[in-house]
């Protein structure tokens, strides 16, 4: 059917690269935006998103490695969450330009988000679970709105 329309189907590698450029990098692929993306082989990944997801994954592995400790001392989860959110707010204020500083700050945000998700899972009260989950959603949306509206998003 595609051949009838005169369209040629791209090879899978080219389709993956186009997907990477559009959805995984979501920044212009240029010299001016090099501090906003990681290049891994032919693929580009957003520094912020990749770092946040790696932070969540890292904390999840760490959490399950020391599960008994976190269950015995739930205050640790609250402190980790507070630290991650504080670093995220600090990043909004200082707006680092260096790719690795941004990556580290977003990684700590991911760790904090992972800790908050652990609190939500471990807490026995359903009302608190829903309240914290809604708070996580609202906080994520507000953080992204502030970042989207900041001048940092323009590559320079």
- Report the pLDDT value the prediction gives residue 6, as an integer from 0 to 100: 45
Q: What is the CA radius of gyration of the chain?
A: 19
CA distances from 105 to 23, 33, 96, 108 (A): 22, 18, 9, 5
- Report the pLDDT value the prediction gives residue 63, as an integer from 0 to 100: 92
Structural domain includes residue 6: no
Structural domain includes residue 1: no
Tokens describing residue 118: 């652990």
How many separate domains does the chain show? 1
- In order along its 156 residues, the chain shows pLDDT tens digits of 444 554 567 776 676 666 655 555 666 666 776 777 777 777 777 888 888 889 999 999 999 999 899 888 889 999 999 999 899 889 888 888 888 988 899 899 999 999 999 999 888 889 999 999 999 899 888 887 777 766 455 555
Structural domain includes residue 61: yes
Instruction: Report which DSSP code applies to 25.
Output: I
Residue-number span of the structural domain to which 68 is assigned: 12-153
Distance separating alpha carbons of residues 70 and 66, to the nearest angstrom: 6
Structural domain includes residue 127: yes
Neighbours of 77 (CB within 10 A): 23
């Amino acid at each position: 059917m595609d051949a009838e329309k005169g369209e040629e189907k791209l090879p899978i590698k080219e389709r993956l690269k186009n997907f990477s450029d559009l959805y995984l990098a979501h920044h212009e692929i240029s010299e001016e935006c090099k501090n906003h993306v990681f290049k891994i082989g032919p693929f580009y990944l957003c520094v912020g998103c990749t770092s946040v997801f790696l932070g969540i994954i890292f904390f999840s592995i760490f959490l399950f490695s020391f599960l008994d400790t976190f269950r015995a001392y739930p205050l640790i989860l609250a402190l980790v969450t507070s630290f991650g959110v504080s670093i995220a707010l600090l990043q909004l204020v200082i707006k680092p330009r260096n790719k690795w500083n941004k990556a580290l700050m977003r990684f700590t945000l991911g760790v904090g988000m992972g800790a908050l998700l652990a609190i939500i899972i471990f807490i026995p009260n359903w009302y608190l679970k829903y309240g914290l989950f809604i708070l996580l959603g609202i906080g994520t949306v507000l953080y992204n709105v502030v970042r989207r509206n900041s001048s940092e998003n323009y590559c320079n």
